[in-house]
Every structure is written in C-alpha cells, then in structure tokens.
Amino acid sequence: DTAVSQTPKYLVTQMGNDKSIKCEQNLGHDTMYWYKQDSKKFLKIMFSYNNKELIINETVPNRFSPKSPDKAHLNLHINSLELGDSAVYFCASSRATTNEKLFFGSGTQLSVL
Amino acid sequence: SQKIEQNSEALNIQEGKTATLTCNYTNYSPAYLQWYRQDPGRGPVFLLLIRENEKEKRKERLKVTFDTTLKQSLFHITASQPADSATYLCALPRMDSSYKLIFGSGTRLLVRP
C-alpha cells in the first residue's frame, strides 16, 4: 500500500484554468504538507495542516487554496493558473508538527501552457 | 538570511567506494538535520535524522555526521552500489520557524558499476 498517494501524476493545462491535486495518507499521521519543487530542485513549503487545521500558510498567492476534509486528506486547488505555477507539487505527512521524518508522495508535475 | 549549500555538481564514483556528500549551512544552529534521497520522478524518501547533541549516526551502510562548529553535515555511503545513484537532499528547521523545513537543492550521486 502506498503511504502517501497523490493524484494526478501529471497535469497539463492552459493558463487561466482551475485545477485540483488530491492527496491521501494511510499512515495515521496528524500533519500534512504541500511542497513545491521548482526547476532548480529546491523544495519549498507552501502549506501545513495539523488535524485539519491550517498551521502554516507560507507566502503563497491566494489563488492556491488547500482543503483538508479530514486528517488523512489534503487537497490543493489552484485558480487562474499562470505559467509560473509550472512545477512539481509534493504532498507529505509526518507524525507531528515537528517536521521530523516526512513521508512524501510521488509528486504531481504541473505544466501550464 | 539562512542558507543551505550542497554541491550542485554530481558526484561520480566507482562501485564499492565510499561516497561523501556535504551539507553546509549558515547563520543558524539547528536542533537537528535530516537527509533524504530522491529518485527521478519520485518524492524524497527520509533516510536519517541527526540531532545537535549527536556527533554521528549510522544506519546500515549510511553514516551521517553533524559538526555544529563547522556548521556542516557529512553524509557517507560505504560500499556504494549503482542502486545508490540518486539525488540526496539535506534539510533542517528554518530559523524563523521550527515548524518549517528548509531543503538544500541536493547533490546527485552516480555510482558506476
């Protein structure tokens, strides 16, 4: 069983569209994250939720809206997609908010044309 | 500002040799440091965490050191194998918030058979 699974794996879309990425973890972890990996391979935190509550909202355009229906799921909705949003988005989870030992999903490659 | 530096050039070694990767950081004394492995098209996988009061940590063929005076961590893979070829990322808690991790851009390791 995949511990952290996210869908879709690839997302190709036009500028201005709205898209969502879904993430689920079956590890029983309390904390989930969205990270963005840019073309230079730096991983940067976007959001973090602990037990469905938002605890980190990094400086991210408000076109990005995370939603956590329960502690096992964290989805990312992106409105009005821009060229600069093209990147790989990773979902991750950890047992607590301490950021120790993160489990990552396999990533969603978003390409905005 | 806080920085993490990893050698951006790939490390190319012969199978059986020891690979040594470096992670340098500035302007901060983190409570711990983590190492992750990332394969192409996959999410990072946690390998080891070392705390500030630990000089060295081992896991099978992996060894991590943490020199808080030099502000450096070394990651060693002994008896390297082609299957060890991947990008290795170091990460530590951010200076402005321990709830956030800062990742290095990673060093790519290539192990030749």
- How close does chain A come to B12, measured CA to CA in Å? 19
Of B72, B68, B36, B43, whose CA–CA distance to B53 is shortest?
A: B68
Q: A48-82: per-residue pLDDT in tens? A: 999 889 988 887 899 999 999 999 999 999 999 99
Beta-carbon-side half-sphere exposure of residue B4 (alpha carbons within 13 Å): 26
Whether B12 and B113 have beta carbons less than 8 Å apart is answered as no
Q: What's the pLDDT at A60?
A: 85
Interchain pair A92, B45: CB under 8 A: no
Instruction: Give the chain A residue nearest B47 (alpha carbons).
Output: A101
Looking up tokens 């470096």 gives B22
Q: Which residue has the higher pLDDT, A16 or A41?
A: A16
Interchain pair A58, B100: CB under 8 A: yes
For residue A89, pLDDT beyond 90: yes
Report the alpha-carbon distance of residue A95 to residue B1 in Å, rounded: 29
Whether B56 and B72 have beta carbons less than 8 Å apart is answered as no
Report the alpha-carbon distance of residue A6 to residue A20 in Å, rounded: 11
Which residues, other chains included, contact A62 with Cβ-Cβ below 8 Å and sequence gap of 6+? none
Q: DSSP letters of A55-84?
A: EEE-S--TTEEEEEEETTEEEEEE-S--GG
What residues of chain B lie within 8 A of the CB of A56, using their CB?
A: 97, 99-100
Interchain pair A107, B100: CB under 8 A: no
Q: Which residue has the higher pLDDT, A55 or A18?
A: A18
Of B104, B112, B92, B113, whose CA–CA distance to B38 is shortest?
A: B104
Q: B8-43: per-residue pLDDT in tens? A: 889 999 999 999 999 999 888 899 999 999 999 999
